[in-house]
A = this chain, B = another copy of it.
């Protein structure tokens, strides 16, 4: 979700694009990749909807914010629509990531295949633990967190991943923003305060598992 007084991105006529729509575009993209790999070259909004548990009107409305990509009576060309969504989401570029906090979660992310497959590459590792600084992981040297500003510039970082303990998260976010970064993936279980031109996405597994315990609890209550 978007954090602190965030601002939404806009579509082709300047509308605000909702987080929900952006999330679904990612899903359509994955579906289209799947279909393309299997040699399918045309798909209807109906099929894209079915494969994602939503309605076909939702699919068409989402796409309509960015253009008219289909052909009436026929549907969408799989390859073409995939390229269009890829461009909308910025997946046709290569992105440089900084990992701040080389702990338990951080290590798992370094080895997370799906990031690499989608052109998201770690270009910088930062930590404050003297025992970690200077060691090498996936071909990268762990740098001192104190030199964040300089290292972020050197590595041409676009997106930062915060994987430090909760107590340090806001301070790290402040430093990242000061260093000019405008996109943060936050794994710390806290609401970060950032300026409105910075986008934060929170990855909070505890909230999701608590949602499940809520569901089970309420089901028994009925």
Chain A positions within 8 Å of B, measured between CB atoms, are 3-5, 9-10, 17, 19, 22-23, 25-27, 29-30, 51-53, 88-91, 93, 95, 104-105, 107-109, 111-115, 118, 120, 158-159, 182-185, 189-191, 193, 197, 199, 201, 203-219, 222
Q: Which residues of B contact A22 (CB under 8 A)?
A: 210-211, 214
A23, B214: Cα distance in complex, Å: 10
- A213 contacts B53, C-beta separation under 8 Å: no
- B53 contacts A5, C-beta separation under 8 Å: yes
The number of times this chain is found in the oligomer is: 2
- A205 contacts B114, C-beta separation under 8 Å: yes
A212, B90: Cα distance in complex, Å: 9
The verdict on A159 contacting B209 (CB below 8 Å), with A105-B112, A189-B114, A191-B27 known, is yes
- A91 contacts B53, C-beta separation under 8 Å: no
A26, B214: Cα distance in complex, Å: 10
Q: Which residues of B contact A118 (CB under 8 A)?
A: 206, 209-210
